[in-house]
Structure 1
Amino acid sequence: MKVTEEAGVLARSERFFATPGTVARGLFYYITRAGHYYYDENYDFRDNCEIAHLESHRNFYLLYVRAGTMYVRTDHEFSVERGQAALVDCRRPHRFFTHSDAEALWLHFDGANSGAFFEQIIAFHGGRQVFTPAAALHLEQELAQLILGLRTGETSEVERSQALYRILCGLLLPQRAHSPAENDAVAQAVRFIDSHLTEELPVRSIAAHVNLSTSHFSRIFRASTGFSPHEYIMLHRIDEAKSLLHSTGLSVSEIAFRVGFRSEVNFIAAFRSKTGQSPTQFRNNLL
């Protein structure tokens, strides 16, 4: 659908609406509107306009700039340069504008656990709402395909949901190519953790074991596994504890120390935090 009535949006721009079905609204990620816009210096979208109060707008907004520079104001102002993406919660105060010609792909989305994804992605990027997506994500191509699917009607709600999930996962945990040495270091670290699970495992010691600085090791470990080293160790200990609770008659205290916790109280708190139940409840539910 050509856009003709939006100030600062040039005539060759396109915009599409998508009303989610009942199943999509209840279970999927879904798009409510999307577009490929060309802008001039007159573009200035503010959240006090009529469009900003429509249901299709009051959700989450993903912007990818193909040319020029876009500006966004939320609780602070930032620029989105060519090749960068931005995430905005449009239920909160916001403004989008330009100072010169620009081009962007964008979409509004919601559904499933979109809000949790939004918060985690922003937190992962240190609170920044603008970032350069990893090349492996192919964000520009993904967005272009989604917009094409809305134009032609040839993509289902399931396919759009799957594409949105790929995008959100890629923004949360950007994958990058690792050198053979880095891949080997992560593999060595995992083996080291497995064989020393009952001991104290400070991240600096694991990093030293694989001859990397603590910061660099933490970055490549998370990029490779999806977990920080600390979280990986904690979850691995919880998994070992589950196995012992299921297959042995060891007391909770004995299991706590066997999987590397230094106190029963800390073990119970960690187990409950990660599983939603105490070790004793977990054991009893298996009977």
Structure 2
Amino acid sequence: MEKNMTTSVFSLNPSAFAKEHLYYVELAGEYFGISDYKIERDYLDSLLLMYIEKGELQVEQGEKVISVGRGECVFLDCRKPHKYSSKESITFKWVHFRGNSVFAYSELLTKEYGEPIVIKDPTLIEQEFKFLMGLLRSESSLEHMLSVSIHRLLAMLSENGSARTKSADLAVASAEAYLRQNFEKQLSITEVASEVGLSVFYFTRQFQKQYGISPYEYLITQRISNAKRLLLNSGMSIRNISAACGYNNPSIFIASFKSRVGMTPTQFRRSINGNIDRE
């Protein structure tokens, strides 16, 4: 172990048995109050789990850039290009691990969370992470216990993902009801995602998965459906129907209606009941 006032780095040399049959750690560490920290890699044949104790870490993988704050975990498949950095003071623990089926877990977790994977409420994971770091600090080589601890971490991440998905399903159902009941308001998908406590990316992906349509298209569908009802069952002008269905600009409403129905609101009204539009 290498240690100074701001870092503790654990470098291990796993046995041939561990490399073939167990989960194992080759490199891990603890950083205390470091700043101007930056790592950028194209490829490293390992998975990386980090737990932030103080400060904030900026993490970039693929097209996503996220902030991981105090009390949160981030999980990276380092075989894919990635960056993480902090200009301000930050304290965090990290561990690179490999081994039997470890990358299969990466694929499983990516399906649950997307990537990079961020755990916002990692209470049990934090406890197991501390246990793992305790094993790494010990003078003895405890390869089997390290393997068990890593497996428990992966299992907790997986189970937490399943619970999160169930919770997200309820949140998405709540968002669907909110969109359906408030289509006439000036809504943004960002606001709706915030209303149900989900990130825009995760909310959009789960909504699409659950309803087969994006939340934005669902909102437009609700507006057009209600516009049809008003066109057929009221004498309201196109301008007033536009406002009643959440459109500030009648021209945008007419274009949106035509692109989805194949005719303008006036043409639709006349084709159904022959009424003369009052615009």
Gaps of at least 5 residues in structure 2 are 174-279
2:118 counterpart letter in structure 1:
V
Q: 1:122 aligns with which of 94, 110, 118?
A: 110
Partner AA of 1:45 in structure 2: I
Displacement, 1:99? Answer: 2.1
1:99 counterpart = 2:87: yes
In the alignment, the residues of structure 2 paired with residue 114 and residue 63 of structure 1 have an alpha-carbon distance, to the nearest angstrom, of 16
Q: What TM-score does the superposition give when structure 1 sets the normalisation length?
A: 0.53
Distance apart, 1:156 and its partner CA = 1.3
List per-residue Cα deviations over 1:45-103 (Å, max 9, x = no partner).
Answer: 1227xxxx7xxx53110011011101111212211111111111112211121021111
* Residues 164-192 of structure 1: per-residue CA shift (max 9 Å, x gap): 01110000112999xxxxxxxxxxxxxxx
Larger radius of gyration: 2
The corresponding residue for 1:66 is 53
Question: What do you get for the CA RMSD once the two structures are aligned?
Answer: 3.0
Matched, 1:169 2:163: no
Do 2:113 and 2:161's aligned partners in 1 also have CA atoms closer than 8 Å?
A: no
CA distance in 1 between partners of 2:137 and 2:75 (Å):
23
Report the alpha carbon displacement of residue 44 of structure 1 after superposing the two structures with TM: 1.1
Q: Do 1:134 and 1:175's aligned partners in 2 also have CA atoms closer than 8 Å? A: no
Are the aligned partners of 1:2 and 1:12 in contact in 2 as well (CA < 8 Å)? no
Q: Distance in 2 between matches of 1:148 and 1:215?
A: 37
1:159 aligns with 2:148: no
Aligned to 1:144: 130
Number of matched pairs: 169
CA–CA separation in structure 2 for the residues paired with 1:214 and 1:104 = 28
Output the amino acid matched with 1:73. Answer: E
Deviations 1:95-143 (A, max 9, x none): 12102111111100011111110111121124452122443x2x22322
Work out which of the residue numbers 14, 32, 41 in structure 2 matches 1:38: 32
Separation of aligned partners in 1, 2:168 and 2:146: 39
Q: 1:128-161, CA deviations, whole angstroms, 9 ceiling, x for partnerless residues?
A: 52122443x2x22322222222222335111000
1:13 and 1:120, CA in 2 relative to 1: closer, same or farther beyond 3 A?
same
Within the candidate set 13, 16, 25, 1:19 is matched to: 13
Is contact 2:71-2:122 (8 Å) kept?
A: no
Provide the rounded CA distance (Å) in 2 between the counterparts of 1:143 and 1:133. Answer: 14
Percent of aligned positions with the same letter in both sequences? 27
Normalized against structure 2, the TM-score is what? 0.54
Show the counterpart of 1:205. Answer: none
Residue 140 of structure 2 aligns to a residue in which SS?
coil
